[in-house]
Amino acid sequence: MSSAVGPPVAVDGFFQPRRAAFWLLVFFLVIGAFSTLSKIHLSYEIVPTSVLVGTLVWSLYTVPFLLFLRALDVFEQHSPLGFALAFAWGGFGAVYLVIPVNGAVESLAAKLGGPEFAARWGPALAAPTNEEIFKYLGVVLLVMIARTQFPTILSVVVMGAMVGLGFQVMEDLVYTANTAIQFPSSDQVAPVIVMLIVRGLLGGLWSHALYTSIACFGLGYLVARPEHPLPRRLAVAALFFLLAWSAHFFWDSPWLQGLDGGVFTLALVKGVPVLVVGFAVWYLASREQYCRVRAITDAYLDRTLVTPEEIPALASFSERRRARKHLRFRHGRPAARTLRRLQRAQLHLLRVCSQSGPSPQAWRAAQEVRALRAHLDELTEDPSTRSE
């Protein structure tokens, strides 16, 4: 998968009050937050402990996902505001828009197919269609607000995962509160634990964050590959949205409900294929990012700043960690910490070059890389080779 580097482009911020898409996003965030938080407040009046503990639990649940997605954003194009807007759209804007539409689709299914059909197939018809559309629209709005923040397919995929994560966490909190209200005992902590196991552990890895990231691979191809014909890009965008819809439909469908082994086995049988598809999509997006790192290096940098051997590690979160772990084993923690600083400096240099080319900012970033590399060489030098 090739990724040519065009001319340097300055990066827009996500605060764009002169763009209609910004105010449309803000509008739905405000009314969505008011509506969703009002419902949660009503639940708090009935089961306050469940709501407070649930908020804490789902907040902690979110942290590793946030750190992981942030680490994947190699070029750090997206500011904290961008991540916050994406998460908020999923948690407030999309949730607000989805609730009445899901109800309408399930009512229509009951009218056309009867109550039994609606009970079995209503969620599988309503949720994938409405939820994937409204989550996707949030990413479209973010792209319209700050187009230059999305130079790679992975940058769009990461933002899609953030939207999906926001939707997933808010939905889990609402389900937790509703379950606590209907729980057969007065214990307000038990329903939180139950929902954490069912929705967080058994369903969390192949839930909304994964669906939306799959759909947004196609959107990323559409916006980050202008060199390809528009009909081809539109077809790829439609294909990956359909793939995300199918994964969501498969999870919500009543298929395999009678499978032996209970809920755990059913979750694995349904979830693992979705996870495999998601892994393949993330792998393709990461490969495209690797090609971009290599292209920027070839266009702007010499091999003393980023060596060919370092390019795969810079383009991959797991490879960067593996390189540091290997160095820590051979030369100790100070060397590993210095390598971490060097990797961050190299990524900063790549980002500056992609935005401004061989500019004074790039020269200063290159000087920092050289200084850190010299320090790392000192830490990893074999004492026997030093001159007396």
Query: Which tokens is 249 given?
Result: 């439909």
Mean per-residue pLDDT, 199-226: 91
What are the tens digits of pLDDT across the range 58-85? 999 999 988 888 777 665 556 788 899 9
Same domain for 268 and 310, yes or no, is no
In a domain, 92, yes or no: yes
Same domain for 248 and 329, yes or no, is no
For residues 227 and 199, give the distance between their C-alpha atoms in angstroms, rounded to a whole number.
41
Query: Which tokens is 155 given?
Result: 């940058």
For residues 348 and 351, give the distance between their C-alpha atoms in angstroms, rounded to a whole number.
5
In a domain, 388, yes or no: no
Same domain for 105 and 148, yes or no, is yes
Is the dihedral angle over the CA atoms 347, 8, 144, 280 positive or is it negative? negative
Same domain for 340 and 191, yes or no, is no
Same domain for 350 and 258, yes or no, is no
- Domain span including residue 333: 301-382
Number of domains in the chain: 2
DSSP state letters, 192-210: HHHHIIIIIISSSTTSHHH
Same domain for 43 and 142, yes or no, is yes
More confident residue, 45 or 287: 45
In a domain, 6, yes or no: no
In a domain, 265, yes or no: yes
Q: Can you say how many angstroms the Cα of residue 58 is from the centroid of all Cα atoms in its chain?
A: 17
Look at residues 256, 279, 297 and tell me which one is the last residue of a structural domain: 297
Same domain for 92 and 241, yes or no, is yes
Mind spelling out the 3-state secondary structure of 40-89?
Answer: HHHHHHHCHHHHHHHHHHHHHHHHHHHHHHHHHCCCCCCCHHHHHHHHHH
In a domain, 80, yes or no: yes
Same domain for 32 and 128, yes or no, is yes
Look at residues 297, 312, 347 and tell me which one is the last residue of a structural domain: 297
258 pLDDT band, cuts 50/70/90, is low
Same domain for 215 and 269, yes or no, is yes
What are the tens digits of pLDDT across the range 3-47? 555 554 455 788 899 999 999 999 999 999 999 999 999 999 999
Same domain for 269 and 356, yes or no, is no
Same domain for 158 and 248, yes or no, is yes
pLDDT score at 174: 93
Question: For the whole model, what pTM was predicted?
Answer: 0.84
In a domain, 278, yes or no: yes
pLDDT score at 80: 84
In a domain, 61, yes or no: yes
- On whether the CB atoms of residues 36 and 96 are closer than 8 A, the answer is yes
Same domain for 93 and 219, yes or no, is yes
pLDDT score at 388: 47
The single-letter code of the amino acid at 216 is: C
Look at residues 245, 270, 297 and tell me which one is the last residue of a structural domain: 297
In a domain, 215, yes or no: yes
Tell me the pLDDT of the chain averaged across its residues.
87
